[in-house]
């Protein structure tokens, strides 16, 4: 198993990509600490982890609260040790042109998507440097690599995550620590389904799939597999990268 004996701290674990990653990391032998602002969702995720025979702990965590993130990381280190941090918690917004997105909404997106990743890295790096090892995986987006019309605030934050990840990698590399980002295309999770009925989503999915060379949108496991690879020792000489997982959309 690729993560046997390791501990992974995963934010946004209560649903979507975070939940899928938690399950996959556990299957590969990791002890999983699943954090989410929605404690019920995190507990459901960890319940499945434990049902599969792996150790896990669910935490209620607001990633915008730096003190709370530091406390959660410190507690994880004290109880389990720490080998992997997956800064996955994120939010988006309703499609709108830049001039129609108000400051409160912009700041909400920045607080979660940028400050949340900053806080996770800021809390984990001292521990990783002290032990001389560790893997950071940050969830960015295809929208952080190419333009995404009407997703201006979201694109702003995900572009920041990509470049911040490169900076972190350059700083911590000499200490044996790696940092990479995953940049998913549209993936079938709750975020793109928001405010759509099942029928509307299926129609949207069919239409969007036409623009992907592989003729389908992403599945959560597609992205979780990339996260697993970057977190594992198989990626031991890979750092500072933004791995695009998008079914070929960005090459068309």
Residue 208's pLDDT is what? 83
Q: Do residues 85 and 55 lie in contact, with contact meaning Cβ atoms separated by under 8 Å?
A: no
List pLDDT tens digits, range 51-104.
888 889 999 999 999 999 999 999 999 999 999 999 999 998 988 999 999 999
- Residue 128: count of CB within 10 angstroms of its CB: 24
Provide the pairing of β-strand 31-36 with 56-60. parallel
Give the separation between CA 118 and CA 105, rounded to whole angstroms.
Answer: 19
Q: Is the dihedral of CA 193, 195, 199, 200 positive or negative?
A: negative
Its pTM stands at 0.95
Residue 188's pLDDT is what? 87
Q: Do residues 204 and 217 lie in contact, with contact meaning Cβ atoms separated by under 8 Å?
A: no
Q: Which of 168, 97, 92 minimizes the C-alpha distance to 126?
A: 168
Confidence of residue 246 (pLDDT cuts 50, 70, 90): very high
Instruction: Give me the sheet containing 31-36, strands edge to edge.
Output: 56-60, 31-36, 7-11, 84-87, 134-139, 177-184, 242-245
List pLDDT tens digits, range 183-238.
999 988 877 777 677 877 788 888 889 989 999 999 999 999 999 999 999 999 99
Q: What percent of the chain has pLDDT over 70?
A: 100
- For residue 112, pLDDT over 70 is answered with yes
List pLDDT tens digits, range 141-172.
999 999 899 889 999 999 999 999 999 999 99
Of 80, 154, 211, 212, which is the active-site residue? Answer: 154
What average pLDDT score do residues 243-250 get?
96
Annotated catalytic, 154? yes
Give the separation between CA 93 and CA 106, rounded to whole angstroms.
Answer: 9
Residue 195's pLDDT is what? 66
Structural domains for the chain: 7-187+221-243 (3.40.50.720)
């Amino acid at each position: 198993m690729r993560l046997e004996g390791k501990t992974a701290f995963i934010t946004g674990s209560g649903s979507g990509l975070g939940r899928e990653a938690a399950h996959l990391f556990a299957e590969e032998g990791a002890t999983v600490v699943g954090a989410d602002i929605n404690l019920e969702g995190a507990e459901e995720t960890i319940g499945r982890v434990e049902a599969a025979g792996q150790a896990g702990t669910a935490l209620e965590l607001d990633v915008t609260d730096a003190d709370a993130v530091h406390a959660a990381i410190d507690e994880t280190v004290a109880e389990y040790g720490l080998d992997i941090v997956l800064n996955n918690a994120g939010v988006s917004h309703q499609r709108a042109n830049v001039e129609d997105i108000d400051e409160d909404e912009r700041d909400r997106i920045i607080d979660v998507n940028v400050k949340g990743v900053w806080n996770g890295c800021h809390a984990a790096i001292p521990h990783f440097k002290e032990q001389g090892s560790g893997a950071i995986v940050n969830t960015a987006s295809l929208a952080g690599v190419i333009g995404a019309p009407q997703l201006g605030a979201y694109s702003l934050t995900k572009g920041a995550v990509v470049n911040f990840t490169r900076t972190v990698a350059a700083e911590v590399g000499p200490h044996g620590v790696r940092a990479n980002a995953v940049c998913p295309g549209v993936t079938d999770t709750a975020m793109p389904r928001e405010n759509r009925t099942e029928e509307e989503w299926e129609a949207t999915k069919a239409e969007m799939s036409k623009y992907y060379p592989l003729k389908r949108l992403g599945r959560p496991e597609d992205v979780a597999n990339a996260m697993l690879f970057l977190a594992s020792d198989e990626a031991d000489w890979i750092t500072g990268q933004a791995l695009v997982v998008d079914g070929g959309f960005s090459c068309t």
